Amino acid sequence: MDRISKAIKKARQANPARPAHNSRVEPAVRGRTLEIKRIPVDPQVLRENRIIIDGVNDAHSHAYKVLRTRVWQQMRTRGWNTLGVTSANSGEGKSLTAINLAIGLSKMGVAQSIILVDLDMRRPSLHKYFGIWQEAGISDYLHGVVDFNEVLVTPEPCEITLLPGNMAISNSSEIISSSRMQRLLKEIAANFSSRIVLFDLPPMLQTDDVMAFAPNVDAMLFIIEEGKSSEDEITKAVELLRDVDVEILGTVLNKSEDVFQGEGYY
């Protein structure tokens, strides 16, 4: 049995009947007053990394506004508050989409806290988009080196809570399905009562992490870069998600030149 088949089997065993919303992660960690570190980010860095900030009103920002509104409508209708973001292969824009979606949701005021978690642990990148670095990253928490509050950061002026990575780890599928990961989810649930949590996950076809983590999210958002992944690769990735019985909220066609008349962007 190959690693993907094993991951699918494990995910099914962990979540055989897809329990009702809020039954997956029962808060067993006592809530506390958190002092979230606020790190000022240079707006020029955000612009250069294509992060949508206040004052930008073009076709790209409009596309993200449409995306965040449609995502929120689906999540509100179904009572969801956790969403994974993935793609078939790397480089299709899933991390940037997750960032701009999180920021967009925070501006709508749909929850007290919008939390963005970097679970692409073999290639963590969210901190790079913001131009920040923390000595304590999510892998340190999952290895039991630091406490929960030491990982949290708000990259100002973006009003989101970020759990960034800092170093790559090779045994990510074991870590992502560990008891320590379950504790992290309980910490989030206990300390952020009104929340939407977005997980930036690895590409589907490069690791079994997504299948292992699938039981912990309400749904997945699937990112496709136009002209990058083949039809067979996209079909295989979607079938893998269906094999672990996770809802697919929708797909995002990224870098579509048809939509923006040759601009080659979102």
d(CA 199, CA 213): 10
* Structural contact between residues 105 and 72, judged by C-beta atoms closer than 8 angstroms: yes
Q: Report residue 194: phi and psi, to 5°.
A: -110, 105
**Residue type present at position 84:** G
Q: What is the mean pLDDT of each run of 10 residues along the chain (266 residues)?
A: 53 47 45 84 93 77 91 96 96 95 94 95 94 91 93 95 91 90 96 96 93 95 91 94 91 74 43
pLDDT, residue 227, reads 84
Q: What is the pTM of this model?
A: 0.86
d(CA 191, CA 28): 11
Set out the domains of the chain in order of their start, with CATH numbers.
33-254 (3.40.50.300)
Where would I find the H helices in the chain? 3-14, 43-48, 59-78, 94-108, 126-130, 138-142, 172-176, 179-191, 209-213, 231-243
